[in-house]
């Protein structure tokens, strides 16, 4: 097979081709290595690992030949550079982790490699996963492979953000520079870039996938999860990533179901909640229209739409922007120039700390650490942090109440399509508004997926989001696949590695 | 809440981030606008509502108090900007 046609396969198809020996894992890995080299202008990868990919592919080929294939044998996967990978540079997109080569492997990536997956490299992200645009990385911004117009003379064709913070992973999958990827989602960082890049992204239930070995941003909100070309692809990867881990005390001791088997195509009589509070001011009509279209698709498949109310929705962002910075300021205290990463020398220990952290953190990280420090400081803790935690309870309660009446909730993923690199940077709050539909599921710890459902008027992908009950990824995936089939999203971005085929 | 330059300088000291004098004013504006925006939460009646620290419903698990990992000093020190004789080293703290 040509590189172009190898790269066009989704995960399930590639697995089938490997099993039937139509091509080898090495051929597949080599095609992706070339694709990554060709996709360099997108800046989706910080550290490609082509040699490691070939070694792992060779090992997979040996198992495939012996008929001892593992669940993901030979499947090339990109890893957000927030997951610690043993002896491979791990940066979190930050200057302060200069040269950090973890002496250990994150639980989730370890599970992937043990299942036979092939590591393509580490993908770019917003610094410490703090952002919605993948523009704050020390390693430069990621470019979305989609453009508004394929030809420059047709109109404004400036490069767009891929969303964030898992923007490198999303751009790589969309541009066929990765077959699938893993990301993390603290306030929408898997789902919003999936929506912006026209791929599928799933944030599982809190506790479903171990956080051990993931560089911490906000521990009570961070969720590792899969990103891929299809709902089936992410269901397959989730099955490998998920499971209890004694090394993460918040990891849930729950059995891992066969997520792929949950994709029955039958959603008859399922009740789909439509929250009226998600009709926010300034949301483009085309997103509202796509949402209505989504309702009709699910209705046509036999589901029953139910108008619901999540009255605390409007307070979710403000709650998030207290809790996340508070946890971040605590987690990021470890970057002190002593044990790993950057050190800027000073005359005293304290001077070394303040100089190292001033040089090592970018503007957005610094802003959030300062906000977090403030809301946790004596005299302000109750007014800000404790208040936000109480509102968080009410947000979770809204969902609990809704799930007494419905089986899942349908909303748009984001209030806009991808925007131009450099836009929304004047005012931090404008950037924060990107997460208005995704943040509530993080606060409540619920599973939520984004599925590409249509194109905006200027030709950019738009996603729809399904949110479910805790530990009911199966329903979320099943409904998502109905949307995927109905939308039958076959559009391709302007930039495709290997030229398509 | 409007923060002034002195307040920002104090927070930066707590956070151990050196800020230049020129950075204080713009940061005071940015942080003040974020704090003013999050204060919309004051509209919400939270009397008698318990704070939520985590979505994990499980209580912290206990395990036997035994060593399960370790003995890898070289690997740990391998990432240190400065190390000597099996220790991390920092500027002199005690005179």
Of B17, B60, B81, the CB nearest to A343: B81
Contact A443, A395 (CB under 8 A): yes
Q: Using the beta-carbon criterion (under 8 Å), do B41 and A367 form an inter-chain contact?
A: no
Residue A143 inside a domain? The answer is yes
Q: Give the range of the structural domain holding residue A52, as residue numbers without chain letter.
A: 3-261
* Residue A345 and residue A221 in one domain: no
- Which residues of A are less than 8 Å from B81 in CB distance? 337-338, 340-343
Residue A165 falls in the annotated catalytic set = yes
ipTM for this prediction:
0.96
- Of A24, A166, A169, A189, the active-site residue reads A189
The bridge status of strand A76-80 relative to strand A118-123 is parallel
* Residue A371 and residue A251 in one domain: no
Select from A195, A203, A189, A77 the least CA-distant residue to A146: A195
* Residue A353 and residue A206 in one domain: no
A and B: number of Cβ contacts within 8 A: 166
Q: Using the beta-carbon criterion (under 8 Å), do B38 and A321 form an inter-chain contact?
A: yes
| Mean of per-residue pLDDT scores for chain B | 93
Residue A498 inside a domain? The answer is no
* Residue A92 and residue A160 in one domain: yes
Provide the domain count of chain A: 2
Residue A13, Cβ density class (10 Å: 0-12 exposed, 13-18 middle, ≥19 buried): middle
DSSP state of A123: E
- Which residues of A are less than 8 Å from B95 in CB distance? none
Residue A279 inside a domain? The answer is no
pTM score of the predicted model: 0.97
Q: Using the beta-carbon criterion (under 8 Å), do B37 and A350 form an inter-chain contact?
A: no
* Residue A350 and residue A206 in one domain: no
- Enumerate long-range contacts of A235-238, CB under 8 Å, 24 or more apart: A235/A259, A235/A260, A235/A262, A235/A263, A235/A477, A236/A11, A236/A12, A236/A15, A236/A71, A236/A72, A236/A260, A237/A11, A237/A72, A237/A77, A237/A112, A237/A180, A237/A182, A238/A202, A238/A204, A238/A208, A238/A209, A238/A473
The pLDDT of residue A433: 86
Q: Which residue of A has its CA nearest to B35?
A: A371
Q: Which residue of A has its CA nearest to B23?
A: A363
The pLDDT of residue B19: 98
- Which residues of B are less than 8 Å from A100 in CB distance? 79
Residue A24 falls in the annotated catalytic set = no
Domain edge (last residue) among A237, A261, A285: A261
The pLDDT of residue A501: 46
CB neighbours of residue A265 within 10 Å: 10
List pLDDT tens digits, range A387-444: 999 999 999 999 999 999 999 999 999 999 999 998 877 777 878 888 999 999 999 9
Q: Using the beta-carbon criterion (under 8 Å), do B53 and A220 form an inter-chain contact?
A: yes
Of B15, B53, B72, the CB nearest to A373: B15
Angle at A431 between CA A98 and CA A389, to 5 degrees: 85
Residue A69, Cβ density class (10 Å: 0-12 exposed, 13-18 middle, ≥19 buried): middle
CATH code of the domain containing A91:
3.90.1300.10
Contact A391, B41 (CB under 8 A): yes
> Which stretches in chain A have pLDDT values below 70?
150-153, 500-501
Rounded to 5 degrees, φ, ψ at A469 are -70, 155
Domain edge (last residue) among A261, A293, A326: A261
- Residue B57, pLDDT > 90, answer no
Residue A195 falls in the annotated catalytic set = no
* Residue A50 and residue A134 in one domain: yes
Select from A147, A148, A150, A70 the least CA-distant residue to A111: A70
* Residue A198 and residue A102 in one domain: yes
- Which residues of B are less than 8 Å from A329 in CB distance? 15
The pLDDT of residue A155: 78
The pLDDT of residue A428: 79
Its CATH class, for the domain covering B5-43, is mainly alpha
The pLDDT of residue A282: 82
* Residue A84 and residue A11 in one domain: yes
A396 vs A321: CA distance, rounded Å: 16
* Residue A123 and residue A229 in one domain: yes
* Residue A254 and residue A363 in one domain: no
* Residue A158 and residue A243 in one domain: yes
- Which residues of A are less than 8 Å from B55 in CB distance? 206-207, 220, 396, 443-446, 470
Contact A353, B81 (CB under 8 A): no
Domain edge (last residue) among A339, A373, A391: A391
* Residue A98 and residue A7 in one domain: yes
């Amino acid at each position: 097979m040509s590189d172009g046609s190898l790269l066009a396969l989704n995960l399930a198809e590639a697995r089938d081709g490997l099993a039937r020996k139509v091509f080898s894992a090495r051929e597949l890995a080599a095609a992706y290595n070339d694709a990554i080299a060709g996709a360099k202008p997108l800046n989706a990868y910080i550290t490609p690992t082509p040699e490691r990919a070939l070694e792992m592919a060779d090992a997979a080929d040996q198992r495939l030949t012996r008929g001892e294939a593992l669940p993901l044998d030979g499947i090339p996967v990109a890893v957000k550079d927030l997951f610690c990978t043993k002896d491979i540079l791990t940066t979190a997109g930050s200057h302060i982790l200069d040269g950090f080569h973890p002496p250990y492997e994150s639980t989730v990536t370890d599970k992937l490699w043990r299942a036979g997956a092939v590591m393509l490299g580490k993908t770019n992200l917003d610094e410490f996963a703090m952002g919605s645009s993948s523009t704050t990385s020390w390693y430069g911004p990621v470019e979305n492979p989609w453009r508004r117009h394929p030809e420059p003379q047709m109109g404004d064709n400036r490069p767009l953000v891929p969303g964030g913070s898992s923007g490198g992973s999303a751009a790589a999958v969309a541009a066929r520079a990765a077959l699938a990827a893993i990301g993390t989602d603290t306030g929408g960082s898997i789902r919003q870039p999936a929506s912006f890049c026209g791929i599928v992204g799933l944030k599982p239930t809190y506790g479903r996938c171990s956080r051990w070995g993931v560089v911490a941003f906000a521990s009570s909100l961070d969720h590792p999860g899969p990103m891929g070309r299809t709902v089936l692809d992410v269901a397959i990867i989730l099955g490998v990533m998920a499971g209890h881990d004694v090394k993460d005390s918040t990891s849930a001791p729950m059995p891992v179901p066969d997520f792929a088997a949950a994709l029955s195509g039958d959603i008859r009589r399922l009740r789909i909640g439509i929250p009226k509070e998600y009709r926010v001011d300034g949301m483009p009509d085309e997103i509202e229209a796509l949402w209505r279209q989504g309702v009709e698709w699910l209705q046509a498949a036999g589901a029953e739409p139910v108008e619901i109310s999540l009255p605390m929705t409007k307070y979710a962002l403000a709650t998030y922007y207290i809790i996340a910075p508070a946890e971040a300021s605590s987690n990021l205290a470890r970057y002190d120039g002593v044990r790993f990463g950057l050190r800027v020398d000073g005359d005293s220990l304290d001077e070394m700390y303040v100089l190292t952290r001033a040089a090592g953190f970018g503007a957005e990280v610094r802003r959030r650490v300062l906000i977090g420090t403030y809301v946790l400081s004596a005299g302000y803790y109750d007014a800000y942090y404790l208040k936000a935690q109480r509102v968080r309870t009410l947000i979770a309660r809204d969902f609990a109440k809704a799930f007494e009446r419905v089986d899942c909730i349908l909303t748009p993923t984001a209030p806009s399509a991808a925007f131009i690199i450099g836009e929304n940077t004047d005012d931090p709050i404008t950037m924060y508004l990107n997460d208005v539909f995704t943040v509530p599921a993080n606060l409540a710890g619920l599973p939520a997926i984004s599925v590409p459902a249509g194109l905006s008027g200027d030709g950019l992908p738009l996603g729809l989001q399904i949110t479910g009950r805790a530990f009911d990824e199966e329903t979320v995936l099943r409904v998502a696949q109905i949307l995927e089939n109905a939308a039958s999203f076959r559009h391709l971005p302007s930039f495709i590695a290997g030229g398509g085929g | 809440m409007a923060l002034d330059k002195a307040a920002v300088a104090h927070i930066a000291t707590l956070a151990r981030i050196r800020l230049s004098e020129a950075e204080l004013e713009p940061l005071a504006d940015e942080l003040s606008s974020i704090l003013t925006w999050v204060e919309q939460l004051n509209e919400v009646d939270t009397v008698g509502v318990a704070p939520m620290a985590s979505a994990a419903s499980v209580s912290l698990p206990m395990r036997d108090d035994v060593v399960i990992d370790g003995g890898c000093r070289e690997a740990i020190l391998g990432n240190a900007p400065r190390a000597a004789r099996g220790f991390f080293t920092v500027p002199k703290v005690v005179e």
